[in-house]
Amino acid sequence: MQINIRELTYEDEADFLKMTNQSQALHHIWVKPPLNHEEFNEFYIRVSQTSTHKSYITFTQDNDIVGVFNISEIVRGCFQSAYLGFYASSLFAGKGLMSKSLKQLIHKAFVELQLHRIEANIQPENKKSIDLVKNNGFRKEGFSPRYLKINNQWCDHERWAMTVEEWMG
């Protein structure tokens, strides 16, 4: 199946919210994506349209959203690094499409954004997300206890990262 990726636009709101609402059972323990107009608007304006954040949607040839990737806290200068977050549509989870999408996202991160390093922080129990990054060349760097507050609870995370040199092979 053909997969495309592009930056999130304000015009994506209806399809984006449809996907996040349909996928709540899949997301709720790992991440809290926008679920209504106000949350989307805040996310889109405050986060995805700044120089330190980029949000992408990946979609099928029928324009169905497969998933979302967020590159956040982009630091320039000597560091050239950022964090990677992502979540899939429940309609396409487990079908290998997020892996195809991640390959395109990594290309954008290293070629278009000219980053040197990207890091994904994933809860140890989230085996599917760990498998996704591991199978796409990320290496485990370590463990961070009580790293992020998700659903009002401080959660442990594993740190997975990749540099442009590792990606280029």
Number of structural domains in the chain: 1
- pTM, two decimals, is 0.93
Which residue positions in the chain have pLDDT lower than 70?
Answer: none
The confidence score (pLDDT) of residue 42 equals 86
**What is the domain range of residue 21?**
3-168
For 48-65, the pLDDT digits (tens) are: 778 899 999 999 999 999
The whole-angstrom separation of Cα 5 and Cα 50 is: 19
The whole-angstrom separation of Cα 71 and Cα 27 is: 18
Listed residue (97, 115, 107, 128) closest to 30, CA to CA: 128
Q: What is the CATH number of the domain that holds 66?
A: 3.40.630.30
The whole-angstrom separation of Cα 141 and Cα 91 is: 31
